[in-house]
Chain A
């Protein structure tokens, strides 16, 4: 299963474009390296401050576009990861090892996969014919599937 891990920095200065110190960057790089070496890391990026972003609000049939910064926002996302793990507990354990700073929060959200979309779909999938089950044969004719 996959989890999106969202970093919500505690330090508001991040919004002003302040970069973390060398030690913090180093520690985070080592953490990312551990995730990569464990085969868990799928993706991960830092996000620019909201001043470089925009918001689109959908209301009353209209779209309202606002440029950043969004100073009134209580929780601003600083970055995200996408992890491949066996369980929520594993995602939590990895997240606990993140060299986060004082006040930081990590939010973990499971990513939807088609199997999550209810028993009806699962039933339909259960009627799947043997054809898709011929893994090796199909892999050998990889040009066709």
Chain B
């Protein structure tokens, strides 16, 4: 089947997006180096770009690419063996790190593709790399994004990302990071590192403003897809399902967060008809899986359970605030944080009245970590207002307004401050 060149190019791009991660993963196990594996995979892609426009896309394009790349891998290994033999002739002692060709190719044919993909996940998210490097490498090797796409998504130049990826590969090679899935005691911490990368990518996408390059909100989809892939590879890990649940439900609100004039809308004021029910359903199912695996108290599962409470409420008034307050209490126990405690205060106020919430907020006012955090005085002001303590409320609204960098938010806070003077006590 011969199609127009641009159609074939797009089709090949699609094949690459579907097959590249598995291809790189399978090669990485043979050559024991993700950098080399990616090069070999790219070479196979180039060959495909030459041949497929003429011969048509093969029935099993993944297998075609793997076979092509493996031939090149074999050549590479043979070349290195020749080099090694040459060195031995010259009397140099080389560590016998060369894999046994026949054994490895045999194993490569038999081994589960999923295992290789998982090895690639843990390698590209290795803690020896900086967060930035892990994100770029993961999007590149597992997400199938081009360097240019990653650069646009993170608002940096393409050479910056290219360099970041080159250095990441070099760091992995120099640190001799083995291409494997961590086991036993090491697994939990390494998994945490993987999930953190996915969450970082999602947050970057979630923070995109509508005027941005569309690669940016697209990061949410990329993160969701990565999360789902990892959940498929590690179905018995509750925190993976917890993270996926959190992302699915947060993403479900994407279309409701923005008003007709482009203004941001708070969750409690969002039109819930615009919440994506498909994603909510998926999120609730993933949360249930996490809970069934005994992971209800994991940090991601707890955060997911909180957003799930909102997702289940048909209207804001239906929100189960006592449950949310309890979940925040569990979360603060697990990952102590003044911001989480502030969120707990908000939930407690909604559940048990403003005085109860204020009691918690007042324990945070002298916390240096929150000294410049505008939401602290903002929340406090709101609670004081509800309690009829208008002078104090006005002072805190003004303080919050002075701390926020957002002009619209400042206007809103100043308006509320002005309202304190005009309002009569409830």
Binding site for B on A (CB under 8 A): 36-40, 42-43, 82, 84, 86-90, 92-94, 113-115, 122, 124-145
Contacts and interface: CB of A to CB of B under 8 A. Distances in A.
B18 A94 contact: yes
The 5 A-B pairs at the shortest CB distance, nearest first, are namely: A135-B207, A125-B210, A39-B228, A39-B225, A126-B211
A76 B221 CA distance: 32
B306 interface: yes
B317 to A, nearest CB: 15
Contacts of A86: 14, 17
A42 B207 CA distance: 23
Given A90-B14, A144-B267, A139 B206 contact: yes
B328 interface: yes
Determine chain A's interface SS by DSSP, over half rule. helix
Given A43-B278, A142-B306, A132 B258 contact: yes
Interface stretch (B80-88, B169-177, B402-410): B402-410
27 contacts: A37-B114, A37-B229, A39-B227, A39-B232, A42-B282, A86-B17, A89-B10, A89-B11, A125-B211, A126-B262, A129-B407, A131-B406, A132-B258, A132-B264, A134-B207, A135-B207, A135-B208, A136-B203, A139-B203, A141-B339, A142-B343, A143-B267, A143-B306, A143-B310, A144-B268, A145-B253, A145-B267
A113 B204 CA distance: 20
A56 B405 CA distance: 54
B125 to A, nearest CB: 16
Nearest to A37: B232
Nearest to A41: B228
Given A39-B225, A135-B208, 15 more contacts: A36-B228, A37-B114, A38-B18, A40-B225, A42-B282, A87-B13, A124-B260, A125-B210, A125-B262, A127-B211, A127-B261, A133-B207, A134-B406, A135-B206, A143-B347
Interface in B185-232: 203-211, 214, 221, 224-229, 232
A128 B263 contact: yes
A90 B17 contact: yes
Given A139-B203, A139-B206, A129 B263 contact: yes
A131 B262 contact: no
Contacts of B225: 38-40, 84
Interface residues of B, number: 62
B151 interface: no
Nearest to B214: A115
Interface string B1-43: 0000001001101110110000000000000000000000000
B340 interface: yes
Which of A87, A93, A94, A130 has most B Cβ within 10 Å? A93
A143 B264 contact: no
Contacts of A93: 11, 14-15, 18
A18 to B, nearest CB: 28
A53 B173 CA distance: 61
Contact of B343 (A39, A84, A143): A143
A140 B340 contact: yes
B101 interface: no
Given A82-B278, A140-B339, A141-B375, A122 B409 contact: no
